[in-house]
Homo-oligomer: A and B are copies of this chain.
Amino acid sequence: MARRGVTGGPGTGLVDELAAVLRERIYSGRYPSGARLPQENLAAELGVSRTPLREALRVLEQEGLVRVTPGQGARVVSGDVATLLAAYELRAVVDGLAARLAARARPALARCRDLRRILASQRAALDPWSPRAYTGANVDFHEQILHLSGNEFLVAEAPVLRMTAQVFAPVALVDPARAQRAIAEHEAIATAIEAGHEDDAERLARAHIQATIDELRAEHDDAAPTPRDSTASGPAS
């Protein structure tokens, strides 16, 4: 059976294609947090055998997107607040370093345009408030900075970024007010990168995530004893 339903280009390994497809489906919410990922169904649906599929699941496991329990197969990671906080703590320093290296690299003007374009689309998601578009642009912004850093090890951390922003979306809903503040912080980060101010770029990027951590922790400590405010909004970064 020859790759029915898998659209990846030639030359690229089938495992990577499968990993990309599954990643996208997890990000998009098609496989919600905590959902089982039965190998036979997925293999049949994707038109491949279980052998490469299992390797793809191992890749996603290492990326932190799924959890493979021996004897019980794979599940999409389910996110408690403590895990989310731990991931954000790593993101704070990773994003900070990425911003510093991006500022140091002094990206070509075209790349800066990309960053500004992402910011524009993110701002556009405010007027007719579209959480989905906002989150998408938000992920794009942070991921773009990772790429601008030119450091492959930082790029490899992208799945953690997407996990915090997209997989755990149900637990971390955004509200427009915080989104607006987040965008302002984004613009300050972009300005620092364009100006080549390494220290500012790192400090701002780290503080940006740290603000989210603080908010999330405050809400958690607040909501845990008396969960009356169950509709509380989550991080906007």
Contact = CB atoms under 8 A, between A and B. Distances in A.
Interface of A: 11-13, 15-16, 51, 54-55, 58-59, 61-64, 68, 70-71, 83, 86-87, 89-90, 92-94, 96-97, 101, 151-154, 156-157, 160
A177 to B, nearest CB: 29
Given A55-B54, A58-B55, A58-B59, A151 B90 contact: yes
B15 A58 contact: yes
Provide the main secondary structure of the chain A interface. helix
Contacts of A87: 153
A156 B153 CA distance: 13
Nearest to A94: B93
5 contacts: A55-B58, A89-B151, A90-B97, A90-B153, A93-B93
